[in-house]
Chain A
Amino acid sequence: MRIEVLKPGAQTQAQDLGRYGYQSLGVPVCGVMDEWSHRLANLLAGNARDEATLEIVLTGPTLRFEAATRIAICGADLSPRLDGRPLRPDRATDVPAGAVLEFGPCVAGLRAYLAVHGGFDLPLLMGSRSTYVRGGFGGLEGRALRKGDVLRAPDLAPPPPARGPRSHPLLPSSLPRDEPGAPAWLRAMPGEHWDLFDAETQAEFAHAVYRISPQSDRMGYRLEGPPLRRQEPGELVSEAMNFGTVQVPTDGQPIVLMAERHGTGGYPKIAHVISVDLPRLAQLAPQQTLRFEIVTLEAAQTLYLQREQALATLRDALL
């Protein structure tokens, strides 16, 4: 069935969990910025596999569904309405044939994820449906949605009535819950080059409040705050970086690498934002502030495994 793009939104792209296996060729992983909301949306829409969702930033698209289906929208609250009726976030919604989905003002967060039952029908390229705009491939023709585009989703028998809990008290949203105006807390573990910075600089990093620069995008979040100086500046040999890596270029203003990062780089890695906190970071917009709390690798991996168990529990309940 066809899903017609009546309005494209600001920067609406198809993304899945990313294109792993090709970083050795210089191909960035890409994928969603907020993995939690994306996975939640897929599960609520009844998708057992990792299907592509639409990553919707701030200004949402207007879409017309040709046939009945089920959708779910998670992450940012961008005031979604179906045929004029407001939709509650983090729920499965049954969509009648011909219905129009629109978005309104952003109430909370930055990125919303729209999943459709059966997944968007997009070509698998190097094992992924993620859009890579800079490379011009993946997703829908390697670009963000445009007016007049037609997305397709499989024609499925009408999905069974949504089962399982309609609300999920055990599922924390990725939206930051900090006091309005207060800096968001993000947990980070020391990076491989932590010791290239002296104790004073390490303490500065752990206590300073950083502001997210307007020059932030899917590739990286540039932070503005007290510069982090190295004792002995110099070039390092390029090596692996990852989603969440906090690198420190020569000007001392850290950059948190996000979904569309390069796989390797030569700036020192002072820290890594832990995986379970990346969805909250992805929901922060430029000009918002944050600070880091240093935790151990052990703590980061325990939190990671707990999150996987919570998702497995939800999967059991929904699918």
Chain B
Amino acid sequence: MSERWRIDAVGDRCLLVGLGTEVDPATSARVHALVQRLREQPIEGVRDVVPAFTTVALHYRPECFVSPLPSGKRTAPRGGPAVLGSGPANDLAGPTPFERLRELLLERLAEPLEGVADSGRVVEVPVCYGTAEPDYGPDLADVAARCGLAPEAVVERHLASPHRVYMLGFAPGFPFIGGLDEGLEMPRRANPRTHIPPGSVAIARRQTCIYPLDTPGGWNLIGRTPLRLFDPAAEPPCLLAPGDAIRFVAITPADYRALLAERERAAP
């Protein structure tokens, strides 16, 4: 299989590897295979590895990608005055830090990226859908009307879709979950809300998301989960991780309130 990628500079201290152009499970698998490989064969000086739908970003410290000069030698950097003082002399005339990191990365891309499509975990996410308690899913009726389905049918299709976490982003612990039933595909709301209650489960395009914090947002709210998706003091701080399979489970408003109360007792 031929490996194709593009490598770009996101400014002077971040490098981006593109592994595809389509948001699909195969590309996502390659993205997470590269993240896994960089975990197994880390590159010193890279301080954050950030997967997205089709790309992996490496945030790096450029000063870690220079060769020290043999002691006593000192050269003026290209296009600039000689460095004052007695700091460590680095070879500023060699390849740029970006080029050096690129070389180290290409070594790690030499072997094909075997797709690990999933993390091996299945996480159950209880949801009180808007059919039971409209306030928990204020857009469910509208979604149903636009799909030409009954609200119950929207819920059934949502429960039956093969959901998988593509990436976390936008807010701490915010999952972008792919795999939504084709029949539920729809754009984001024309007028985003300024406040969305934490735990809201929402859909847009072919994805589901869950809002971990009160944030603004434009996705269509269909239900709410009592789970806490992000706890800054926990390790790991996020309930979900890229590659996790998600199994949504419909619960009643009474279940929702009971689970929420239980959670608050455990961690007030």
Minimum CB–CB distance from B263 to chain A (whole Å) comes to: 17
Chain B residues, Cβ within 8 Å of A125: 232-233
- Select the stretch in A205-213, A223-231, A305-313 that faces chain B: A305-313
Q: How distant is A163 from chain B, measured CB to nearest CB, in Å?
A: 15
- Does B169 touch A at the CB level, under 8 Å? yes
> With A and B bound together, what is the CA distance between A301 and B14 in angstroms?
11
B129 contacts A by Cβ under 8 Å:
no
Which of chain A's residues have a CB closer than 8 A to the CB of B57?
23, 239-240, 263
Q: Is the CB of A24 within 8 A of B49?
A: yes
Q: Are A240 and B10 in contact (CB under 8 A)?
A: yes
Chain A residues contacting B63 (CB-CB under 8 Å) are: 304-305, 308
Q: Looking at the complex, which one of B35, B47, B87, B170 makes contact with A316 (CB distance below 8 Å)?
A: B87
Q: Are B92 and A305 in contact (CB under 8 A)?
A: yes
A 288-314 binary contact with B (CB < 8 Å = 1; else 0): 000000000111111111101111111
CB distance from A143 to the nearest CB of B (A): 13
Cβ contact within 8 Å between A170 and B168: no
CA–CA, A306 to B54, complex, Å? 34
Complex: chain B residue closest to A272, CB-CB: B11
Q: How far is the CA of A224 from the CA of B173 in the complex (A)?
A: 32
Residue of A nearest to B55 (CB): A239
Whether A302 and B92, one on each chain, are in contact in the complex, defined by CB atoms closer than 8 angstroms, is: yes
Q: Tell me the B197-237 residues at the A interface (CB within 8 Å).
A: 213, 215, 230, 232-233, 236-237
Question: In the complex where A24-B49, A312-B88 touch, is A192 in contact with B8 (Cβ < 8 A)?
Answer: yes
Which residues of B134-172 are within 8 A (CB) of A?
167-172
Total interface residues in chain A, CB < 8 Å? 57
A contacts with B: majority SS: mixed
- Contacting B at CB under 8 A, from A134-176, are 134-138, 170
Q: Is the CB of B237 within 8 A of A27?
A: yes
Given A26-B168, A135-B232, A264-B167, verify A238-B90 contact (CB < 8 Å): no
B98 within 8 A of A: yes
Check if A11 is an interface residue, CB within 8 A of chain B.
Answer: no
Closest to B47 in A: A20
Q: Closest chain B residue to A274 by CB distance?
A: B12
Chain B proximity of A35: nearest CB distance (Å): 11
Render B231-260 as a binary contact track against A, CB cut-off 8 A, 1 for contact.
011001110001000000000000000000
CB within 8 A of A298: which of B8, B59, B96?
B96
Instruction: Name the distance in Å between B109's Cβ and chain A's nearest Cβ.
Output: 17
The interface bits of chain A over 257-268 (1 if a CB of B lies within 8 angstroms of the residue's CB, else 0) are 000001110000
Q: Decide yes or no whether A54 CB sits under 8 A from chain B.
A: no
Encode contact with B along A178-206: 1 for CB under 8 Å, 0 otherwise: 00000000000101100000000000000
- Residues in A neighbouring B52, C-beta threshold 8 A: 237-240, 264
Q: Is the CB of B168 within 8 A of A240?
A: no
Residues 73 to 101 of chain B near chain A (Cβ within 8 Å): 77-80, 83-88, 90, 92, 96-98
Of B49, B87, B90, B215, which is within 8 A of A313 by CB? B87
CA distance A275 to B230 in the complex (A): 31
Of B59, B66, B80, B173, which is within 8 A of A26 by CB? Answer: B173
Which of B13, B21, B85, B170 touches A242 (beta carbons < 8 Å)?
A: B13
Q: Is the CB of A240 within 8 A of B83?
A: no
Contact of A137 among B48, B49, B232 (CB under 8 A): B232
Measured CB to CB, the closest approach of chain A to B175, in angstroms, equals 8
Residues of A near B80 (CB, < 8 A) are 302-303, 306
Query: A93 to nearest B CB, angstroms?
Result: 23
**Least CB distance, B97 to chain A, in whole angstroms:** 5
Does B25 touch A at the CB level, under 8 Å? no
- B125 to chain A minimum Cβ distance, whole angstroms, is 17
Contact (Cβ within 8 A) B10 A192: yes
Closest approach, in angstroms, between the C-beta of B71 and any C-beta of chain A?
15
Give Cα A264–Cα B53 distance, bound, in whole angstroms. Answer: 10
Q: Which residue in A138, A191, A238, A316 is a CB contact (below 8 Å) of B232?
A: A138
Identify the closest chain B residue to A308 (Cβ).
Answer: B63
Q: A305-B63, A305-B66 are in contact. Are A274 and B11 (CB under 8 A)?
A: yes
Q: Given the complex of chains A and B, what is the CA–CA distance between A241 and B11 in angstroms?
A: 9
Find the A residue at minimum CB distance from B213: A135
Of A237, A299, A300, A304, the most chain B CB neighbours within 10 A belong to: A237
Q: Is the CB of B238 within 8 A of A309?
A: no
Q: Are A304 and B83 also in contact (CB < 8 A) when A26-B174, A135-B232, A241-B10 are?
A: no
B21, B53, B98, B172 — which one has the most chain A CB atoms within 10 A of its CB?
B172
A303 to B97, CA, bound (A): 12
**Those 9 A-B pairs whose CB atoms lie nearest each other, nearest first:** A313-B85, A240-B57, A272-B11, A312-B87, A313-B87, A300-B12, A137-B232, A309-B87, A20-B47
- A-B contacts, 6 of them at CB < 8 A, read A20-B48, A24-B167, A28-B172, A192-B8, A302-B80, A309-B83
B interface, CB within 8 angstroms of A: 8-14, 16, 18, 21, 23, 35, 47-55, 57, 59, 62-63, 66, 77-80, 83-88, 90, 92, 96-98, 167-174, 213, 215, 230, 232-233, 236-238, 242
